[in-house]
A and B are shown apart, each in its own frame.
Chain A
Amino acid sequence: MATELRLKELSKKEELFTHGHRLCAGCGAPIIVKMVLLASEYPVIACSSTGCLEVSSCISEYTAWKIPWIHSAFENAAATIAGVESMYKALKKKGRADKEIKFVTFCGDGGTYDIGLQSLSGAMERGHDMLYICYDNGAYMNTGIQRSSATPLGADTTTSPAGSVVPGKLQQRKDLTKIMAAHNIPYAAQASPSHWLDLMKKVRKALKIKGPKFMNILSPCNRGWRSRTDDAIMLSRLAVQTCYWPLYEVEDGVTRITFKPKEKKPIVDFLKPQGRFKHLFNPENEWIIKKFQEMTDKEWELLLKSS
């Protein structure tokens, strides 16, 4: 029997990611893991590539996972879970297992957008029955906030430091959800923890579909975003309302926007509370905010047209 997607009912389920993990106070990643595991109606086997979530959830001899979980290297989480899935399929064929189990990865943006892209692309193309979840915090936060290809334009990171020479990162971020949708997989979606019901519905939908699925979930990081520890949910909500992080899904090639903000907020609302964008408010960097807004508007228009 599926648990209704109501908080009262969900709170009666066992939490499969326990406290005692050592992620920073106010981190977005454990909130996402919690929501995904609560939404799942099936037993789950998970894998994480190297990243904040991985190092902090299994510090020597301790694990915060109550499900079978594998730590993979940085570049091959998708290949690892694909191998597990194939092994389980073989066991089923031989009659040694019969349970319906789902295979999920939780990887950061470094391990997904950059280092793990080849193994992810390969696993999606081979069509393994798996759900790849990327928690996107927009930089290599684990090693000390280095830029990744998920880092937004103008963000100050340790390898794109804002100063008199460069005004933070000069390049636009990669649109990974669209890259994954272009693999013609049955399901690709973008979600945010602030819109929890939307996120859980997407997870449920994805797990019911056979074949490779991809979800990109925004994960605020107060250390890297240079914001307060209590604003993870607020910032992810602003990201959605400003259309920096639109919520949509691509199912069998059909794009559907799952949340349209009643009033599209200016991108400044999202940038302002974050210290990594502080320098953009200096007069000489105003052009970046303008460009940021134009880019966001353009992408939102394109998305509206394609849906």
Chain B
Amino acid sequence: MNMDPDPAVPIVQIIDVHKSFGLLEVLRGIDLTVARGEVVCVLGPSGSGKSTLLRCINHLEQVTSGRVFVDGKLVGYRERNGRLYELGASDLAQQRREIGMVFQRFNLFPHLNVLANIAQAPQLVRKETHEAAHRRARELLDLVGLSDKIEAYPHQLSGGQQQRVAIARALAMQPKLMLFDEPTSALDPELVGEVLAVMRRLAAGGMTMIVVTHEIGFAREVADRVVFMDGGVVVEEGPPAEIFDRPRHERTRSFLKRLL
């Protein structure tokens, strides 16, 4: 069953996605395609729908209409006879393990130590052996520079360290795609750098990443493409140099002006 990925198929394809919470329409028709190995940064004012969009990609939010494909597979639904039937819990779980996610508030498991935080999902979900999962967890901790914190519990770590463990935890599932939901927004300013450094290394290693962020410097340096959202639509997208230096839309310009 393990077919080689077809490089022609985009890793993420979002087609006309709408999402409403009650009467509030948060996403109003989003189209976005992400290629394999691409790093896409999503920017926009708060309330623009960028986090909601990210959460639709792994079906943490159900879309109201439209389709999300990851690796050519429709996310969250089975299409039959012109209807979208929501997938059952185990099919959903199957899809989600291909997609890593890093949260703003880290969401580490407080009752497990660092090693178990990383190694539990591969053992439980991917049925890896204890040895394999722990070996890989140690390698990943090395990658994020926290080899000395294996036995620590989350509350004993700084925010930056917790977020780096959270990144290692997501990577342990060997995802095809990593989603970052404002990964540095809850951090003290002096801790932002260490998390961005790990993400930079990940991008350099060829990981496909979609990053919702306010870090203009990171986006400018690492992103292949920047997407600017406002009011539930993609206002404009393009290479960072274009978006930051020659924004075409007034909304983009005023947002960037406020940020800088």
> Is B truly associated with A?
no
A interface vs B, CB < 8 Å? none
